[in-house]
């Protein structure tokens, strides 16, 4: 082999190229890891009402490691995403020393039983809230459906009867039941729910709403009308004494 100049030249060129590549790699690695490109600012954007400065500071101190080049934006995003009130998070680098974090917060719409909250997209999330919220009940695959119909039913009742929904339930057979803030239970059934509720709200506004004695139950599952029931009055017990 030593008497073949072409082979020797090829080996020499290969070694020179390899040395150059290793030198450049080492130079880039050294520059990137030197403390000369520190992250000086973490900019958090979004309309934040529940995510606190203390939570953000805790994540920055615990999960943001390295400089502008080495910080792991995926790890940072996942850390912010675990905040209870964070729905969506995006993280990007801004040259030369800034990390931009955009947080979309959850907006609570209702409670899902006593296990979770429902946001305005019809999604469940777990967080603590002391707001006065309606309560939804239903099968596990019905969260988005209940949230959607809550908006429709609320608009009908508020405009026609001046009522708010305090509970909305969907059975596994897709039958609906409403409980209002006035304690009225409304059975809607599974068909033509909006039309039935609209008719009831119109009648309530012009007739039932003017009664001094309220009603406790309304069954709208009849084809040509509905049935209502007044609260049962319990007569006071008469006191008996010794003669």
pLDDT at 243: 36
Q: What is the pLDDT of residues 192-226, one digit of tens each?
A: 999 999 999 988 877 776 665 678 899 999 988 88
Q: Which of the four CATH numbers 3.40.50.11690, 3.90.1150.10, 2.60.40.10, 3.30.1380.10 does domain 109-229 have? A: 3.40.50.11690
Give the model's confidence band at 41: pLDDT under 50 very low, under 70 low, under 90 confident, else very high.
Answer: very high
| pLDDT > 90 in the chain, percent | 63
Q: What is the pLDDT of residue 174?
A: 94
Read off the pLDDT band of 160 (50, 70, 90). confident
Model's pTM, two decimal places?
0.78
The CATH number corresponding to 41-105 among 3.10.20.310, 3.90.180.10, 2.60.40.10, 1.20.1250.20 equals 3.10.20.310
Give CA separation, 55 vs 89, 96, 105, 127, 198, in Å. 14, 25, 14, 14, 46
Q: Give the pLDDT confidence score for residue 224 in this predicted structure.
A: 83
16-25 pLDDT, tens per residue? 666 655 645 4
pLDDT at 9 over 70: no
Q: Are 102 and 46 in contact (CB under 8 A)?
A: yes
Statement: residue 34 has pLDDT above 70? no
φ/ψ of 91, rounded to 5, equals: -130, 130
**213 three-class SS:** coil
Which pLDDT tens digit goes with each residue over 115-159?
Answer: 999 999 999 999 999 999 999 999 999 999 999 999 999 999 998
Domain positions in the chain are 41-105, 109-229
CA distances from 206 to 15, 53, 217 (A): 95, 52, 18
User: Given this model, what pLDDT does residue 229 score?
Assistant: 82
Q: Which helix (H) or strand (E) holds 196?
A: helix 193-206
At residue 232, the pLDDT reads 64
């Amino acid at each position: 082999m030593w008497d073949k100049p072409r082979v020797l030249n090829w080996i020499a060129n290969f070694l020179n190229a390899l040395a150059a590549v290793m030198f450049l790699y080492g130079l880039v690695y050294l520059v990137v890891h030197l403390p000369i490109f520190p992250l000086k600012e973490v900019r958090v954007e979004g309309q934040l009402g529940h995510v606190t400065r203390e939570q953000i500071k805790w994540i920055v101190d615990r999960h943001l490691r390295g400089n502008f080049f080495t910080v792991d934006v995926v790890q940072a995003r996942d850390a912010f995403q675990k905040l209870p009130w964070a729905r969506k998070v995006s993280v990007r680098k801004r040259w030369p020393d800034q990390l931009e974090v955009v947080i979309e917060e959850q907006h609570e719409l209702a409670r899902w039983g006593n296990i979770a909250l429902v946001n305005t997209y019809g999604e469940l999330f777990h967080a603590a809230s002391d707001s006065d919220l309606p309560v939804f009940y239903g099968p596990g695959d019905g969260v988005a459906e209940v949230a959607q119909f809550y908006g429709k039913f609320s608009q009908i009742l508020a405009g026609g009867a001046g009522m708010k929904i305090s509970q909305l339930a969907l059975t596994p057979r897709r039958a609906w039941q409403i409980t209002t803030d006035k304690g009225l239970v409304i059975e809607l059934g599974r068909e033509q729910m909006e039309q039935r509720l609209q008719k009831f709200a119109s009648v309530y506004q012009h007739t039932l709403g003017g009664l001094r004695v309220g009603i406790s139950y309304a069954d709208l599952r009849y084809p040509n009308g509905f049935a209502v029931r007044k609260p049962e009055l319990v007569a006071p017990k008469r006191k008996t004494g010794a003669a």
